[in-house]
Protein backbone atom coordinates (compact mmCIF):
# COMPACT_ATOMS: atom_id res chain seq x y z
CA UNK A 1 0.00 0.00 0.00
CA UNK A 2 1.41 3.43 -0.94
CA UNK A 3 0.52 7.05 -0.12
CA UNK A 4 -2.03 7.17 -2.93
CA UNK A 5 -4.00 4.23 -1.52
CA UNK A 6 -4.00 5.66 1.99
CA UNK A 7 -4.96 9.11 0.70
CA UNK A 8 -7.91 7.56 -1.12
CA UNK A 9 -8.96 5.67 2.02
CA UNK A 10 -8.71 8.84 4.06
CA UNK A 11 -10.77 10.82 1.59
CA UNK A 12 -13.36 8.05 1.41
CA UNK A 13 -13.67 7.67 5.21
CA UNK A 14 -13.90 11.39 5.96
CA UNK A 15 -16.26 12.09 3.08
CA UNK A 16 -18.62 9.24 3.90
CA UNK A 17 -18.69 10.37 7.51
CA UNK A 18 -19.36 13.99 6.48
CA UNK A 19 -22.02 12.76 4.08
CA UNK A 20 -23.97 11.28 6.99
CA UNK A 21 -24.73 14.79 8.28
CA UNK A 22 -25.31 16.76 5.09
CA UNK A 23 -28.50 15.05 3.82
CA UNK A 24 -30.03 14.99 7.29
CA UNK A 25 -29.29 18.69 7.77
CA UNK A 26 -30.86 19.60 4.43
CA UNK A 27 -34.01 17.54 4.92
CA UNK A 28 -34.48 18.14 8.63
CA UNK A 29 -34.12 21.91 8.15
CA UNK A 30 -37.07 21.93 5.76
CA UNK A 31 -39.05 19.73 8.14
CA UNK A 32 -38.43 22.08 11.08
CA UNK A 33 -39.32 25.10 8.96
CA UNK A 34 -42.55 23.37 7.96
CA UNK A 35 -43.47 22.71 11.59
CA UNK A 36 -42.81 26.31 12.54
CA UNK A 37 -44.90 27.48 9.59
CA UNK A 38 -47.75 25.26 10.80
CA UNK A 39 -47.48 26.83 14.26
CA UNK A 40 -47.41 30.32 12.75
CA UNK A 41 -50.54 29.65 10.69
CA UNK A 42 -52.58 27.68 13.24
CA UNK A 43 -51.27 28.88 16.60
CA UNK A 44 -51.50 25.31 17.95
CA UNK A 45 -49.10 24.75 20.81
CA UNK A 46 -48.00 21.25 19.82
CA UNK A 47 -46.51 22.58 16.58
CA UNK A 48 -44.34 24.96 18.59
CA UNK A 49 -43.18 22.15 20.88
CA UNK A 50 -42.34 19.95 17.91
CA UNK A 51 -40.50 22.81 16.18
CA UNK A 52 -38.27 23.32 19.19
CA UNK A 53 -37.76 19.59 19.73
CA UNK A 54 -36.73 18.75 16.16
CA UNK A 55 -34.92 22.09 15.98
CA UNK A 56 -32.51 20.90 18.67
CA UNK A 57 -31.77 17.72 16.73
CA UNK A 58 -31.31 19.78 13.57
CA UNK A 59 -28.80 22.10 15.27
CA UNK A 60 -26.75 19.23 16.68
CA UNK A 61 -26.53 17.70 13.24
CA UNK A 62 -25.75 21.03 11.58
CA UNK A 63 -22.85 21.69 13.96
CA UNK A 64 -21.38 18.24 13.31
CA UNK A 65 -21.71 18.74 9.56
CA UNK A 66 -19.76 21.99 9.69
CA UNK A 67 -16.96 20.50 11.79
CA UNK A 68 -16.53 17.41 9.62
CA UNK A 69 -16.73 19.43 6.39
CA UNK A 70 -13.70 21.54 7.31
CA UNK A 71 -11.47 18.47 7.10
CA UNK A 72 -12.29 18.04 3.42
CA UNK A 73 -10.56 21.31 2.55
CA UNK A 74 -7.57 20.34 4.66
CA UNK A 75 -7.19 17.15 2.65
CA UNK A 76 -7.14 18.96 -0.69
CA UNK A 77 -4.10 20.93 0.44
CA UNK A 78 -2.26 18.07 2.08
CA UNK A 79 -2.95 14.95 0.01
CA UNK A 80 -4.30 16.25 -3.30
CA UNK A 81 -2.19 19.26 -4.25
CA UNK A 82 -1.85 18.24 -7.93
CA UNK A 83 -5.60 17.91 -8.15
CA UNK A 84 -6.05 21.30 -6.47
CA UNK A 85 -3.65 22.91 -8.94
CA UNK A 86 -5.48 21.43 -11.93
CA UNK A 87 -9.05 22.28 -10.86
CA UNK A 88 -8.35 25.40 -8.80
CA UNK A 89 -9.38 27.93 -11.44
CA UNK A 90 -12.62 26.09 -12.23
CA UNK A 91 -13.55 25.28 -8.64
CA UNK A 92 -12.74 28.77 -7.38
CA UNK A 93 -16.02 30.36 -8.51
CA UNK A 94 -18.56 27.76 -7.34
CA UNK A 95 -16.77 27.14 -4.05
CA UNK A 96 -16.45 30.88 -3.41
CA UNK A 97 -20.16 31.29 -4.10
CA UNK A 98 -20.85 28.41 -1.73
CA UNK A 99 -18.77 29.95 1.06
CA UNK A 100 -19.65 33.63 0.61
CA UNK A 101 -23.30 33.32 -0.36
CA UNK A 102 -24.80 30.00 0.68
CA UNK A 103 -22.86 29.10 3.83
CA UNK A 104 -22.78 32.73 5.02
CA UNK A 105 -26.54 32.95 4.49
CA UNK A 106 -27.13 29.63 6.20
CA UNK A 107 -24.95 30.28 9.26
CA UNK A 108 -26.09 33.86 9.79
CA UNK A 109 -29.78 33.10 9.73
CA UNK A 110 -29.45 29.94 11.79
CA UNK A 111 -27.83 32.14 14.42
CA UNK A 112 -30.71 34.60 14.20
CA UNK A 113 -33.17 31.73 14.50
CA UNK A 114 -31.43 30.30 17.57
CA UNK A 115 -31.30 33.57 19.48
CA UNK A 116 -34.40 35.15 17.97
CA UNK A 117 -37.05 33.25 19.93
CA UNK A 118 -39.24 35.77 21.79
CA UNK A 119 -37.02 38.59 20.53
CA UNK A 120 -37.91 38.84 16.85
CA UNK A 121 -41.44 39.27 15.51
CA UNK A 122 -42.98 35.89 14.72
CA UNK A 123 -43.00 36.44 10.98
CA UNK A 124 -39.40 37.65 10.94
CA UNK A 125 -38.32 34.72 13.08
CA UNK A 126 -40.11 32.31 10.76
CA UNK A 127 -38.35 33.94 7.79
CA UNK A 128 -34.94 33.29 9.38
CA UNK A 129 -35.36 29.50 9.37
CA UNK A 130 -36.60 29.51 5.78
CA UNK A 131 -33.69 31.68 4.62
CA UNK A 132 -31.30 29.34 6.44
CA UNK A 133 -32.92 26.38 4.67
CA UNK A 134 -32.55 28.13 1.31
CA UNK A 135 -28.90 28.69 2.15
CA UNK A 136 -28.43 24.97 2.89
CA UNK A 137 -29.90 24.01 -0.47
CA UNK A 138 -27.85 26.64 -2.31
CA UNK A 139 -24.76 25.31 -0.58
CA UNK A 140 -25.58 21.82 -1.79
CA UNK A 141 -26.13 23.13 -5.32
CA UNK A 142 -22.73 24.83 -5.59
CA UNK A 143 -20.89 21.84 -4.12
CA UNK A 144 -22.68 19.43 -6.44
CA UNK A 145 -22.01 21.70 -9.44
CA UNK A 146 -18.30 21.47 -8.70
CA UNK A 147 -18.57 17.71 -8.21
CA UNK A 148 -20.53 17.32 -11.45
CA UNK A 149 -17.75 19.11 -13.35
CA UNK A 150 -15.39 16.28 -12.34
CA UNK A 151 -17.70 13.79 -14.04
CA UNK A 152 -18.64 15.90 -17.04
CA UNK A 153 -16.16 18.77 -17.43
CA UNK A 154 -17.56 21.69 -19.45
CA UNK A 155 -16.84 25.42 -19.85
CA UNK A 156 -13.04 25.15 -19.58
CA UNK A 157 -9.80 24.80 -21.48
CA UNK A 158 -6.49 23.25 -20.44
CA UNK A 159 -3.57 25.70 -20.51
CA UNK A 160 -0.11 24.75 -19.23
CA UNK A 161 -1.48 21.63 -17.54
CA UNK A 162 -4.23 23.50 -15.66
CA UNK A 163 -7.94 23.76 -16.32
CA UNK A 164 -9.02 27.35 -16.84
CA UNK A 165 -12.68 28.24 -16.76
CA UNK A 166 -14.03 29.89 -19.90
CA UNK A 167 -17.77 29.79 -19.14
CA UNK A 168 -19.06 29.99 -15.55
CA UNK A 169 -22.67 29.62 -16.68
CA UNK A 170 -21.82 26.34 -18.44
CA UNK A 171 -20.23 25.06 -15.23
CA UNK A 172 -23.24 26.04 -13.09
CA UNK A 173 -25.77 24.64 -15.58
CA UNK A 174 -23.89 21.45 -16.32
CA UNK A 175 -26.45 18.81 -17.34
CA UNK A 176 -24.93 16.38 -14.82
CA UNK A 177 -25.34 18.94 -12.04
CA UNK A 178 -28.94 19.71 -13.02
CA UNK A 179 -29.77 16.00 -12.70
CA UNK A 180 -27.63 15.40 -9.63
CA UNK A 181 -28.87 18.30 -7.50
CA UNK A 182 -32.57 17.35 -7.35
CA UNK A 183 -31.58 13.68 -6.95
CA UNK A 184 -29.44 14.40 -3.90
CA UNK A 185 -31.84 16.97 -2.42
CA UNK A 186 -34.77 14.57 -2.74
CA UNK A 187 -32.63 11.82 -1.22
CA UNK A 188 -31.91 14.17 1.69
CA UNK A 189 -35.63 14.47 2.36
CA UNK A 190 -35.87 10.66 2.43
CA UNK A 191 -33.01 10.53 4.97
CA UNK A 192 -34.67 13.17 7.13
CA UNK A 193 -38.02 11.41 6.81
CA UNK A 194 -36.50 8.14 8.00
CA UNK A 195 -34.90 9.94 10.94
CA UNK A 196 -38.18 11.56 12.00
CA UNK A 197 -40.00 8.24 11.65
CA UNK A 198 -37.49 6.55 13.94
CA UNK A 199 -37.78 9.31 16.55
CA UNK A 200 -41.58 9.23 16.43
CA UNK A 201 -41.79 5.44 16.46
CA UNK A 202 -39.45 5.23 19.46
CA UNK A 203 -41.42 7.81 21.45
CA UNK A 204 -44.79 6.29 20.58
CA UNK A 205 -43.68 2.89 21.82
CA UNK A 206 -42.12 4.42 24.93
CA UNK A 207 -45.35 6.21 25.75
CA UNK A 208 -47.40 3.06 25.26
CA UNK A 209 -45.05 0.94 27.36
CA UNK A 210 -45.22 3.55 30.10
CA UNK A 211 -49.04 3.45 30.02
CA UNK A 212 -50.07 -0.09 29.08
CA UNK A 213 -53.71 -0.95 28.67
CA UNK A 214 -54.77 2.50 27.51
CA UNK A 215 -55.16 1.52 23.90
CA UNK A 216 -58.77 1.10 22.89
CA UNK A 217 -59.90 -1.44 20.27
CA UNK A 218 -59.77 1.44 17.78
CA UNK A 219 -56.25 2.42 18.75
CA UNK A 220 -57.15 5.65 20.52
CA UNK A 221 -56.21 6.53 24.07
CA UNK A 222 -58.10 7.84 27.02
CA UNK A 223 -56.90 10.98 28.72
CA UNK A 224 -55.14 10.52 32.04
CA UNK A 225 -53.14 12.71 34.30
CA UNK A 226 -49.80 11.52 33.01
CA UNK A 227 -46.57 13.19 32.03
CA UNK A 228 -47.40 16.07 29.77
CA UNK A 229 -50.97 16.38 31.01
CA UNK A 230 -53.26 16.51 28.02
CA UNK A 231 -55.85 19.01 27.01
CA UNK A 232 -57.96 19.07 23.88
CA UNK A 233 -56.11 22.21 22.76
CA UNK A 234 -52.98 20.08 22.41
CA UNK A 235 -54.46 17.39 20.25
CA UNK A 236 -53.70 17.39 16.53
CA UNK A 237 -57.05 17.33 14.86
CA UNK A 238 -58.75 18.82 17.90
CA UNK A 239 -61.85 16.57 17.94
CA UNK A 240 -62.78 13.16 19.22
CA UNK A 241 -61.71 11.52 22.47
CA UNK A 242 -58.75 13.13 24.15
CA UNK A 243 -55.50 11.22 23.76
CA UNK A 244 -52.39 11.12 25.87
CA UNK A 245 -49.92 13.88 25.23
CA UNK A 246 -47.22 11.60 23.84
CA UNK A 247 -49.36 9.40 21.62
CA UNK A 248 -51.20 12.38 20.21
CA UNK A 249 -48.25 14.65 19.57
CA UNK A 250 -46.10 12.08 17.73
CA UNK A 251 -48.69 11.13 15.16
CA UNK A 252 -48.51 14.57 13.52
CA UNK A 253 -44.77 14.59 12.71
CA UNK A 254 -44.92 10.91 11.76
CA UNK A 255 -47.64 11.56 9.19
CA UNK A 256 -45.69 14.56 7.87
CA UNK A 257 -42.50 12.48 7.61
CA UNK A 258 -44.34 9.67 5.85
CA UNK A 259 -45.73 12.09 3.27
CA UNK A 260 -42.35 13.81 2.79
CA UNK A 261 -40.57 10.48 2.34
CA UNK A 262 -43.11 9.14 -0.16
CA UNK A 263 -43.04 12.27 -2.35
CA UNK A 264 -39.26 12.61 -2.14
CA UNK A 265 -38.87 8.91 -2.99
CA UNK A 266 -40.80 9.43 -6.22
CA UNK A 267 -38.52 12.37 -7.08
CA UNK A 268 -35.44 10.27 -6.34
CA UNK A 269 -36.64 7.59 -8.75
CA UNK A 270 -37.42 10.11 -11.49
CA UNK A 271 -34.12 11.98 -11.24
CA UNK A 272 -32.25 8.67 -10.95
CA UNK A 273 -33.69 7.64 -14.29
CA UNK A 274 -32.45 10.92 -15.78
CA UNK A 275 -28.99 10.34 -14.29
CA UNK A 276 -28.86 6.87 -15.87
CA UNK A 277 -29.52 8.38 -19.29
CA UNK A 278 -26.72 10.89 -18.75
CA UNK A 279 -24.36 8.09 -17.72
CA UNK A 280 -24.99 6.41 -21.06
CA UNK A 281 -23.81 9.55 -22.83
CA UNK A 282 -21.11 10.89 -20.48
CA UNK A 283 -19.81 7.99 -18.33
CA UNK A 284 -20.55 4.73 -20.17
CA UNK A 285 -17.93 2.83 -18.12
CA UNK A 286 -19.79 3.59 -14.88
CA UNK A 287 -23.09 2.45 -16.38
CA UNK A 288 -21.56 -0.78 -17.67
CA UNK A 289 -19.86 -1.46 -14.31
CA UNK A 290 -23.09 -0.85 -12.40
CA UNK A 291 -24.84 -3.45 -14.54
CA UNK A 292 -21.92 -5.86 -14.87
CA UNK A 293 -22.08 -5.64 -18.67
CA UNK A 294 -18.78 -6.75 -20.20
CA UNK A 295 -19.43 -6.48 -23.95
CA UNK A 296 -21.29 -4.02 -26.15
CA UNK A 297 -24.83 -5.32 -26.31
CA UNK A 298 -27.84 -4.35 -28.38
CA UNK A 299 -31.04 -4.69 -26.38
CA UNK A 300 -29.04 -4.97 -23.13
CA UNK A 301 -30.87 -6.68 -20.24
CA UNK A 302 -31.21 -5.32 -16.72
CA UNK A 303 -29.95 -7.65 -14.01
CA UNK A 304 -31.46 -7.01 -10.55
CA UNK A 305 -29.31 -9.84 -9.10
CA UNK A 306 -26.65 -12.01 -10.72
CA UNK A 307 -28.24 -14.72 -12.86
CA UNK A 308 -31.56 -12.92 -13.28
CA UNK A 309 -32.06 -10.73 -16.36
CA UNK A 310 -34.94 -8.66 -17.69
CA UNK A 311 -34.45 -8.52 -21.50
CA UNK A 312 -33.84 -5.11 -23.10
CA UNK A 313 -34.70 -3.21 -19.93
CA UNK A 314 -31.24 -1.62 -19.49
CA UNK A 315 -31.26 -0.32 -23.08
CA UNK A 316 -34.73 1.09 -22.54
CA UNK A 317 -33.86 2.74 -19.21
CA UNK A 318 -30.68 4.29 -20.61
CA UNK A 319 -31.97 5.47 -23.99
CA UNK A 320 -35.75 4.95 -24.16
CA UNK A 321 -34.96 2.50 -26.98
CA UNK A 322 -35.16 -1.21 -26.02
CA UNK A 323 -32.86 -2.15 -28.93
CA UNK A 324 -30.12 0.45 -28.31
CA UNK A 325 -26.48 -0.63 -27.91
CA UNK A 326 -25.03 -0.31 -24.40
CA UNK A 327 -21.23 -0.37 -24.21
CA UNK A 328 -19.55 -3.03 -22.05
CA UNK A 329 -16.58 -2.65 -19.70
CA UNK A 330 -14.14 -4.78 -21.71
CA UNK A 331 -14.88 -3.08 -25.03
CA UNK A 332 -14.66 0.33 -23.37
CA UNK A 333 -11.33 -0.65 -21.82
CA UNK A 334 -9.93 -1.43 -25.28
CA UNK A 335 -11.18 1.91 -26.65
CA UNK A 336 -9.78 3.90 -23.73
CA UNK A 337 -6.36 2.28 -24.12
CA UNK A 338 -6.30 3.44 -27.72
CA UNK A 339 -7.45 6.94 -26.73
CA UNK A 340 -5.52 7.56 -23.49
CA UNK A 341 -2.69 5.03 -23.62
CA UNK A 342 -1.94 1.87 -21.60
CA UNK A 343 -3.68 1.47 -18.25
CA UNK A 344 -6.69 -0.01 -16.49
CA UNK A 345 -9.67 2.31 -17.00
CA UNK A 346 -12.16 0.07 -15.24
CA UNK A 347 -13.39 1.02 -11.72
CA UNK A 348 -13.67 -1.47 -8.89
CA UNK A 349 -16.39 -3.55 -10.52
CA UNK A 350 -17.78 -5.41 -7.43
CA UNK A 351 -18.05 -2.17 -5.43
CA UNK A 352 -19.90 -0.35 -8.23
CA UNK A 353 -22.15 -3.34 -9.00
CA UNK A 354 -23.29 -3.97 -5.42
CA UNK A 355 -23.48 -0.35 -4.28
CA UNK A 356 -25.99 0.22 -7.10
CA UNK A 357 -28.18 -2.57 -5.77
CA UNK A 358 -27.84 -1.57 -2.13
CA UNK A 359 -28.90 1.96 -3.09
CA UNK A 360 -32.00 0.72 -4.89
CA UNK A 361 -33.07 -1.90 -2.32
CA UNK A 362 -32.59 0.29 0.76
CA UNK A 363 -34.10 3.33 -0.96
CA UNK A 364 -37.16 1.47 -2.17
CA UNK A 365 -37.60 -0.18 1.25
CA UNK A 366 -37.78 3.23 2.89
CA UNK A 367 -40.24 4.56 0.36
CA UNK A 368 -42.35 1.40 0.66
CA UNK A 369 -42.37 1.80 4.43
CA UNK A 370 -43.62 5.38 4.08
CA UNK A 371 -46.40 4.41 1.67
CA UNK A 372 -47.47 1.61 4.01
CA UNK A 373 -47.47 4.00 6.95
CA UNK A 374 -49.62 6.52 5.09
CA UNK A 375 -52.18 3.83 4.37
CA UNK A 376 -52.18 2.52 7.95
CA UNK A 377 -52.70 5.98 9.46
CA UNK A 378 -55.06 7.32 6.81
CA UNK A 379 -57.96 9.48 7.86
CA UNK A 380 -61.56 8.35 8.28
CA UNK A 381 -63.67 10.28 5.81
CA UNK A 382 -67.27 10.84 6.87
CA UNK A 383 -66.50 9.01 10.10
CA UNK A 384 -66.92 10.77 13.47
CA UNK A 385 -64.21 8.64 15.05
CA UNK A 386 -60.71 10.19 15.35
CA UNK A 387 -58.02 9.33 12.75
CA UNK A 388 -56.38 5.92 12.92
CA UNK A 389 -53.56 5.66 15.43
CA UNK A 390 -50.13 4.31 14.51
CA UNK A 391 -50.14 0.51 14.96
CA UNK A 392 -47.68 -0.79 17.53
CA UNK A 393 -45.88 -3.06 15.08
CA UNK A 394 -45.40 -0.21 12.60
CA UNK A 395 -44.06 2.15 15.27
CA UNK A 396 -41.74 -0.64 16.40
CA UNK A 397 -40.11 -1.19 12.99
CA UNK A 398 -39.46 2.51 12.37
CA UNK A 399 -36.42 2.54 14.68
CA UNK A 400 -34.52 -0.42 13.10
CA UNK A 401 -35.36 1.08 9.68
CA UNK A 402 -33.42 4.23 10.58
CA UNK A 403 -30.12 3.16 8.88
CA UNK A 404 -31.76 2.32 5.54
CA UNK A 405 -31.93 5.85 4.00
CA UNK A 406 -28.39 6.94 4.98
CA UNK A 407 -26.98 3.60 3.79
CA UNK A 408 -28.79 4.08 0.48
CA UNK A 409 -27.28 7.58 0.19
CA UNK A 410 -23.78 6.29 0.98
CA UNK A 411 -24.18 3.47 -1.54
CA UNK A 412 -25.24 6.04 -4.14
CA UNK A 413 -22.19 8.13 -3.33
CA UNK A 414 -19.92 5.08 -3.73
CA UNK A 415 -21.56 4.28 -7.05
CA UNK A 416 -21.02 7.84 -8.23
CA UNK A 417 -17.45 8.37 -7.03
CA UNK A 418 -15.92 4.89 -7.26
CA UNK A 419 -17.58 4.46 -10.65
CA UNK A 420 -15.64 7.52 -11.91
CA UNK A 421 -12.27 5.88 -11.20
CA UNK A 422 -9.51 5.85 -12.30
CA UNK A 423 -10.32 9.48 -13.20
CA UNK A 424 -10.44 12.38 -10.80
CA UNK A 425 -11.64 14.55 -13.67
CA UNK A 426 -13.25 12.40 -16.34
CA UNK A 427 -10.97 12.13 -19.38
CA UNK A 428 -8.56 14.80 -18.11
CA UNK A 429 -6.85 13.91 -14.83
CA UNK A 430 -6.15 10.47 -13.39
CA UNK A 431 -6.46 9.92 -9.64
CA UNK A 432 -2.89 8.62 -9.57
CA UNK A 433 -1.72 11.98 -10.98
CA UNK A 434 -3.78 13.98 -8.45
CA UNK A 435 -1.99 13.04 -5.26
CA UNK A 436 0.56 15.39 -3.68
CA UNK A 437 4.05 14.44 -4.89
CA UNK A 438 5.76 15.41 -1.64
CA UNK A 439 3.49 13.65 0.82
CA UNK A 440 4.89 10.47 2.36
CA UNK A 441 3.21 7.24 3.35
CA UNK A 442 3.92 7.99 7.02
CA UNK A 443 2.38 11.46 6.86
CA UNK A 444 -0.82 10.17 5.27
CA UNK A 445 -0.97 7.26 7.74
CA UNK A 446 -0.63 9.62 10.71
CA UNK A 447 -3.29 12.02 9.44
CA UNK A 448 -5.57 9.08 8.63
CA UNK A 449 -5.21 7.75 12.19
CA UNK A 450 -5.80 11.19 13.70
CA UNK A 451 -8.89 11.89 11.60
CA UNK A 452 -10.32 8.44 12.23
CA UNK A 453 -9.91 8.85 15.99
CA UNK A 454 -11.31 12.38 15.86
CA UNK A 455 -14.29 11.31 13.82
CA UNK A 456 -14.91 8.39 16.13
CA UNK A 457 -15.07 10.82 19.07
CA UNK A 458 -17.39 13.12 17.13
CA UNK A 459 -19.63 10.20 16.24
CA UNK A 460 -19.87 9.23 19.90
CA UNK A 461 -20.70 12.82 20.87
CA UNK A 462 -23.33 13.03 18.14
CA UNK A 463 -25.02 9.81 19.21
CA UNK A 464 -24.97 10.73 22.89
CA UNK A 465 -26.45 14.18 22.25
CA UNK A 466 -29.14 12.93 19.88
CA UNK A 467 -30.18 10.09 22.18
CA UNK A 468 -30.27 12.42 25.16
CA UNK A 469 -32.50 14.96 23.43
CA UNK A 470 -34.72 12.32 21.85
CA UNK A 471 -35.30 10.72 25.27
CA UNK A 472 -35.96 14.11 26.84
CA UNK A 473 -38.73 14.72 24.32
CA UNK A 474 -40.47 18.02 23.63
CA UNK A 475 -40.69 20.65 26.30
CA UNK A 476 -43.82 20.31 28.47
CA UNK A 477 -46.75 22.54 27.81
CA UNK A 478 -45.95 25.94 29.29
CA UNK A 479 -47.91 26.81 32.38
CA UNK A 480 -48.86 30.45 32.87
CA UNK A 481 -47.39 31.47 36.25
CA UNK A 482 -49.30 33.47 38.84
CA UNK A 483 -47.79 36.98 38.93
CA UNK A 484 -46.00 37.82 42.15
CA UNK A 485 -43.81 40.74 43.23
CA UNK A 486 -40.18 40.11 42.17
CA UNK A 487 -37.58 39.75 44.88
CA UNK A 488 -33.94 40.83 44.45
CA UNK A 489 -32.98 37.15 44.17
CA UNK A 490 -35.60 36.57 41.45
CA UNK A 491 -34.16 39.50 39.48
CA UNK A 492 -30.74 37.93 39.57
CA UNK A 493 -32.20 34.60 38.41
CA UNK A 494 -34.02 36.34 35.56
CA UNK A 495 -30.77 37.93 34.42
CA UNK A 496 -29.14 34.51 34.41
CA UNK A 497 -31.96 33.01 32.34
CA UNK A 498 -31.52 35.75 29.73
CA UNK A 499 -28.06 34.46 28.89
CA UNK A 500 -27.95 32.78 25.44
CA UNK A 501 -28.35 29.02 25.55
CA UNK A 502 -28.39 26.41 22.81
CA UNK A 503 -31.69 27.60 21.46
CA UNK A 504 -34.04 29.54 23.73
- Concatenating the DSSP letter of every residue in 18-54 gives HHHHHHHHHHHHHHHHHHHHHHHHH--HHHHHHHHHH
Cα distance between residue 504 and residue 499, in whole Å: 9
Higher-confidence residue of 482 and 362: namely: 362
**What CA–CA distances, in Å, run from 476 to 50, 57, 141, 227?**
11, 17, 38, 8
- 411-459 pLDDT, tens digit per residue, is 999 998 898 889 999 888 999 888 888 778 888 888 888 888 888 888 8
Q: Which residues contact 266 (CB under 8 A, 6 or more apart)?
A: 367
Within 79-121, where are the H helices? 81-97, 104-115
Report residue 334: phi and psi, to 5°: -65, -40
> For residue 234, what pLDDT is reported?
35
Higher-confidence residue of 99 and 183: namely: 183
Kindly report the length of the chain. Answer: 504
Q: What is the mean pLDDT of residues 169-174?
A: 90
> For residue 248, what pLDDT is reported?
67
> For residue 331, what pLDDT is reported?
92
Please give the model's pTM, rounded to 2 decimal places: 0.83
Q: What is the mean pLDDT of residues 350-361?
A: 92
Q: What is the mean pLDDT of residues 326-339?
A: 92
- Structural domain boundaries of the chain? 3-210+250-283+348-383+392-472
- Residue 5's pLDDT band, with cuts at 50, 70 and 90, is confident
| pLDDT-wise least confident of 82-86, 319-323, 380-384 | 380-384
Q: What is the mean pLDDT of residues 343-352?
A: 91
Q: Which residues contact 96 (CB under 8 A, 6 or more apart)?
A: none
Q: Is the peptide bond before 253 cis (omega within 30 degrees of 0)?
A: no
Q: Are 386 and 241 in contact (CB under 8 A)?
A: yes
Query: What is the residue-averaged pLDDT of the chain?
Result: 82
Q: Are 429 and 153 in contact (CB under 8 A)?
A: no
E strands, 215-342, where? 297-298, 302-305, 308-310, 325-326
Neighbours of 227 (CB within 10 A): 14
The winner for highest mean pLDDT among 238-242, 358-362, 453-457, 463-467 is 358-362
Cα distance between residue 296 and residue 315, in whole Å: 11
Q: What is the mean pLDDT of residues 278-285?
A: 89
- 373-383 pLDDT, tens digit per residue, is 998 888 766 66
Higher-confidence residue of 217 and 333: namely: 333
Higher-confidence residue of 298 and 213: namely: 298
Amino acid sequence: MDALDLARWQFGITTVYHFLFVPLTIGLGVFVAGLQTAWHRTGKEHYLRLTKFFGKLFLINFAMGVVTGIVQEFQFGMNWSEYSIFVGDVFGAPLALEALLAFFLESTFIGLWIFGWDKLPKRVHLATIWIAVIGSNLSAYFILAANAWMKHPVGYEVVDGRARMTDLWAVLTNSTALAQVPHVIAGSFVVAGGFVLAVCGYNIMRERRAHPGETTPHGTHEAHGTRGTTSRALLPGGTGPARRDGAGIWRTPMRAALLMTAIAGALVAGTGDLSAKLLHEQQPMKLAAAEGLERDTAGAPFSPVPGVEVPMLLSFLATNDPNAVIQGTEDLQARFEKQFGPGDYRPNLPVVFWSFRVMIVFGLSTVGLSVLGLWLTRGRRRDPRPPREVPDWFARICLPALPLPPLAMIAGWLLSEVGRQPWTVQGELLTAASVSPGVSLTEVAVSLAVFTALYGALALAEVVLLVRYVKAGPEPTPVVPVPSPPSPRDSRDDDARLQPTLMY
